[in-house]
Structure 1
Amino acid sequence: MSPQDDDTLSALGKARERLYDPDIERSSLDSPLSPRSNSTIPRRWRERPRLTPLGAPHHLRFASRFFFIALGFFVIAVGISALLFYTGSNTVSVDDIELTIQGPTTVAGGDTVPLSISIANKNPTTAEEVVLDIDFPPGTRSALDLSQPYTRYSDALGSLAPGGQVERTVSAVLFGSEGAKPTIEIAVSFSTSRSSSVFVKRLTYPIVISTAPLSISLDAVTETISGKPFTIRATVRSNATQAIDSVILKAQYPAGYLLADSSITPVGMNFSIGTLAPGASRVVTLTGTLTGQDNDERVFHFTVGTAKAVNDPALAVAYMTQETQIRVAAPFLVTSFIVNGSSVATPAVAPGAPVTVRVSWSNALAVPLANAVIEVGISGAALDPASVEVQKGFYRSADRTVIFSRDTDQALATLAPGATGFGTFSFATLASAPRNSALTLTVSVAGERVGQSGVPERITASANKTIRLVSAVTFTTSSSYASGPFANSGPVPPVAEEETSYTVTWGIVNTGNDLADAAVTALLPSYVTFPGVTLPADGSISFDGASRKVTWRIGDMAGGASRQGSFRVIVTPSTSQRGMTPLLTTVPSFSAYDRYAEVQVTTTGEAVSTETPGDPGYTANKATVQ
């Protein structure tokens, strides 16, 4: 481009420069009319100058001041906070409360645990309203009184100045199962005058129970025949150094178990043992039966501990649990008894009566049983040992045992699967047997079977049968005219169509067991009336006119007791009875429930008539109707 073009194009640019040039005096620009310049007008744009807005330097100076002031305030605040944090001149921390515990870490159950507790205040301010709380595990007892639970200790310590220290000694008796790891929870709470907050320092103190205060051991069979009685012996022992009160043995029975007898009467399934001295032990025996299928496994659980209260046998704290497993086996040689033709579970016989026993057996195995032996032991004070007789067997009088074996019955040499057999024996009971007497038949069976290894295996089993003796009741009857408790009237000998009164007397003597609901009944003939005169006159002797039945309700009769009852009857003979001796009652019958034998006892007496052999001066012709 030529210089001329440059001048022409830059004329506008030069005007622009002049407009924004700060060095040009304002007066020359403000002139409304300027003289026309003869200079050549530029013909190009000049370089645009860099513009600076008016007032910018003042704005930057204000922002800079504000930033530096804020930064300084932040630095000062951080410095003050750091100073307070590291010097701690006005702070309270639970970490500055030193809580120290000294005591055993392993104890025997039932031993006293002494704890020495030290609390020191390392804070720069006073700790106020300081409280020490100790929570003991369940089952803890007071060291001063073992009968009292001791679950919490609380002590208000007051104020603790900076650098102050306080110590406390606390004792408790801990119980637990062997190997248990209970914990003691300790807390120190406090406040300060400068804060409304409550600060809490916590600590957990672990303890291991080396031995349980109460232990239990079990002695039981590992296998039983279904329905066969067996006994479990549970021995409870105290391992504590102090006496333990309200000791409880809790049993948990499996399905199919029936408790028949125990050395301690249970309340539910809890057996109350009471107080055990240090080192003392108590044996609890349980006898029962277990029913189930062959090879069933049943587990018994026994737990020993202490009761909630003296009058509450429920288990509160458990110290040890033991279990025993018993397998149910099907009887390999099934036996059964029939006594005097009856197969009831507990038969009853009268004193002095003969007893016939039939014992049957059957091989329940799937393999043959060789050399089977069935022995029946007879025990009881009511047995007359000289009266035992056996068919196809042998009576061993030395131990009162009846034996059936291949020596007396060749069929017992080998019993095929399902094979059956029986033996019979008899004996008599003593008429003078004592009260509440019983005979026990104990059957033991044995045999040899071939096991899976092919080696003969000897197997045995046993079962019991009890025969109870019922009460022996003596029933006497009599009639009287001139003697007895009542004054009678009318002609003797009796005269047809005329009234004559007589006295009927019944006597009962119970020489056996205790009886309940004893009663005597008889019917009166149509020619006999009941005037209602009785002895005893307590209403126990009554008459029902519709059925013509006289009833004497005796009630309970203890063993060895006797009762007598009398009542008056009036006889009006018919002319058809002349030359006869009329009956005053039919044959009377006595009935009662034997509490021991758990059977009904019945007997009868003789019917009485106008014959009164007990009257003074009585002769046979005085009984015949005239």
Structure 2
Amino acid sequence: MQDDFKKDGLENLKKRLYRKDEEIDDTKERVEFNRSRIDGPSLYWQNKMQSQGKPKLKKFFIWMSITMILVFAGVAAYFLLSGSNIISSKNINLEITGPSYIDAGSPVILNIFVENKNQADLETADLILNFPENSFSPDGSPLERTRISLGKIKSGESMNKTINLILFGLENEDKKISGSLEYRLAQSNAIFAKDVDYTVKILRPAIGLSIAMPGEINARQEIELSVDAVSNSESIVKNVFLSMSYPPGFQFASSDPMPSSGQNQWSLGDFASLQKKTITIKGLIEGQDTEEKTFNASVGILGENGAIIPYGTSFSSAVIRKNPLALTMFINGDDVQKNILKAGGTVRTVLRWQNNSSSPIRDVVIELALNGSAIDGNSLSVSKGNYRPSDQKLVWNSSTLGELAYIGVGQSGEAQFSFSIKNVLPIVSENDKNFSVSIDAQISGNSTNEQSQNFVVSTETKKIINILSGLNIEPSIFYRSGPFKNTGPLPPKINSETTYTVNLSLSGNSNDLSGVKIKVPLLPYVRWLNSFSPSGENLSFNDRDGTVVWTIDKLLSGTGIISPKKEVSFQIGFTPSVSQENSSPILVGDGEVSAFDDFIKDYFNATIHSLNTVLSSDQGFKSSEGHVVK
């Protein structure tokens, strides 16, 4: 019933809402609530707080005040009563004093001052000094890092330490020495430190360098430069090396003294105070017209990597000027300053000229001198030229080579000749070694300048041919000959051991050889008997690869020519197997020899032929004794 009423009432209201001129005013007056505000707790809670909260809050503030007073009192007492135990690095003086400027290589005295201004002692104090590169003690020992024990430094105590050293370096280089005072506190393992640095500037290097050379150089002509090294040090400078850096286009020919390594490093040894040493370097320079060429030199000691740690440096430059009449010499097709050839080799030489001037050149003459006892005079052949016996020169002129009568601007041409090196070099004394051939050529002609004045233009060029040392290696094998008594059947018999003597002989070297090493392998079925003669030779056997190694530190030139051959013999054992019947098995395989030619400054290698059971060098040997039998 009530639901039907609500439904009908809503329907009537809806109709009235959409009826025209209908007014609805069924609203009723609202009743407002009481808006009184409660501003605090009730009286009950106020009484409760007054009776319980005030005493607790009061006690809290009282205890807080007492605690703060005690804390401040404790801190004050700590500082007042324990102030002597408070240590600060600011209260430690650490000073390194010495000169501000020095000459490298001169003795330097440093004073190190330590003062403890704290109210407590410094326990187990150590002074640590770190030195820069190229620092040395007065006795020459390198200095890197030094620790000096100072022990206990009492409150108010000070001390001085003196350090003597020698510093090397470049001009205007700063050298820094860092110091650190490490210390501990009483009843503590912690380490504290006070640091200080000292810097000194090098005014003058220990060794002064200078390079003397022409300011202008003709292209493709030999140049000579002189490098002077002078000690500025008051003390001895030890183990000094000098290194050169050459510009592109420079070909090293020779030097006095010769380099100790390669073509650009020299060992100069020790320098006394004010001592001077000079190196003269010769070579050929190439380059374009007006191109600048710079040579750099440095002197110092060798570092661990083989590079020089410099004490002094220098450089010098020259400008290339193009030759008006250029002359280039080719040896066997190569245009290099220094050539290497074996004894018996052939030298084919081409001389090529070119007119680089702005005027023609007339009546040109080429003269060439050959020098060297290694030349085979009978092999000399000259194309379109003559040999002049009066001064032993080869000559080309317009009568033999018509092109030389007139060489126009930019024109070029060439002349040729050839000769051979002797097969057997003339070694008759210990001074006959390090054979070389020099070829000096000069071209000259007449020209005219812009003022119609006649003048002579000329150019020189030079080549060196160094003769590589030969070395004869003669291996041989014996049964009846040699220093050992051999045993076993001959011919060798299956399953029976026969011993043999192997001999190695060296001879015929024209240059001194260093580090000579001969290696010969024994076949797997050959046994090393550990017997060799002379017993003083450096001979060894490697049982892992079956190789016999003979090492010779120095083989002097003329061995086997003006002095006895260098020989060694060793004994081996051979037990044939069934598979080797009726054969002549190899006992010693192909070997090899390597050596350093002290004159050429390079290594060479050669091979050694194998040895079998055919004893062709043995006395009384019969061909039937060389084959394995049952």
Q: Structure 1 length normalisation: TM-score?
A: 0.53
- Structure 1 SS opposite 2:56: helix
1:246-285 maps to which residues of 2 (within 5 A)? 246-263=239-256, 264-268=258-262, 269-285=264-280
The residue type paired with residue 268 of structure 2 is I
**1:207 counterpart letter in structure 2:** V
Residue in 1 that maps onto 2:163 = 170
2:385 and 2:395 in contact (8 A); partners too: no
* Contact 2:97 2:198 (8 Å CA) reproduced: no
Q: Give CA deviations for 1:227-253 in whole Å, capped at 9, x if unaligned.
A: 433223221111100111100012233
Q: Check if 1:103 corresponds to 2:98.
A: yes
2:307 counterpart of 1:307: no
- Alpha-carbon spacing, 1:250–1:316, altered in 2? closer, same or farther (3 Å): closer
Q: Does 1:152 align with 2:140?
A: no
Q: Distance in 1 between matches of 2:272 and 2:186?
A: 53
Distance verdict in 2 for CA 1:293–1:159, change over 3 Å: same
* 2:315 corresponds to: 323
Which amino acid in the other structure matches residue 109 of structure 1? A
Q: What pairs with 1:106-505 in structure 2 (closer than 5 Å)?
A: 106-143=101-138, 145-146=139-140, 148-222=141-215, 224=217, 227-263=220-256, 264-268=258-262, 269-291=264-286, 298-308=293-303, 314-315=306-307, 317-326=309-318, 331-335=323-327, 361-364=353-356, 367-369=358-360, 376=367, 378=369, 415-420=407-412, 440-443=439-442, 445=444, 461-465=459-463
Cα distance in 1 for partners of 2:84, 2:511 equals 94
Letter in 2 for 1:464: K
Q: Percent identity at matched positions?
A: 21
Partner of 1:604: none
Q: For the structure 1 residues 415 and 442, does the alpha-carbon distance in structure 2 shift closer, same or farther, using more than 3 Å as the test?
A: closer
TM-score of the aligned structures, taking structure 2 as reference length: 0.52
Selected match of 2:57 from 54, 57, 63: 63
Q: 1:508 is matched with which residue?
A: none
**Secondary structure in structure 1 of the residue aligned to 2:152:** strand
Which amino acid counterpart does residue 353 of structure 2 have in structure 1? W
- Give CA-to-partner distance per residue, 1:77-110, whole Å, 9 cap, x none: 4575477569843311222222233322211101
Task: Tell me the secondary structure at the aligned position of residue 120 of structure 2.
Answer: coil
SS at match of 1:249: strand
**Inter-CA distance 375–278: structure 2 relative to 1 (3 Å threshold):** farther
Residue 208 of structure 1 aligns to a residue in which SS?
A: strand
Larger Rg over CA atoms = 1
Assess if the C-alpha contact under 8 Å between 2:210 and 2:315 holds in 1. Answer: no
In the alignment, structure 1 segments of 5+ residues that lack a partner are 1-43, 351-355, 427-431, 470-512, 517-554, 562-594, 598-626
Equivalent runs, 1:34-45 vs 2, <5 Å: none
Residue identity matched to 1:249: L
Counterpart Cα distance in 2 of 1:515 and 1:271: 21
Are the aligned partners of 1:445 and 1:461 in contact in 2 as well (CA < 8 Å)?
Answer: yes
Asked whether the 8 Å contact 2:126–2:148 carries over to 1, the reply is yes
Q: Could you say which residue in structure 1 is the equivalent of 2:84?
A: 89
* C-alpha distance in 2 between matches for 1:267 and 1:424: 36
- Asked if structure 1 preserves the Cα contact closer than 8 Å seen for 2:105 and 2:234, the reply is yes
Distance 2:59 2:225 in 1: 97
Aligned-partner Cα distance in 1 for 2:447–2:340: 32
Tell me how far 1:120 sits from its aligned partner.
1.9
Give, in angstroms, the shift of residue 359 of structure 1: 6.0
1:504 counterpart residue number? none
In 1, the alpha carbon distance for the partners of 2:371 and 2:38 equals 142
Asked whether the equivalents of residues 385 and 394 of structure 2 are also in contact (C-alpha less than 8 Å), the reply is no
How many Å separate the matches in 1 of 2:349 and 2:406?
24
Structure 2: gaps spanning 5 or more residues: 1-33, 419-425, 468-508, 513-557, 565-597, 601-630
Cα offset for 1:360? 5.6
For 1:111 and 1:556, the matched residues in 2 are separated by 50
Contact 2:208 2:230 in 1 (8 A): yes
2:359 is aligned with what amino acid? P
| 1:176 shift after superposition | 1.0
Name the CA shift for 1:85/1:267 in 2 (closer, same or farther; >3 Å). Answer: farther
2:362–2:447 Cα contact (<8 Å) kept: yes
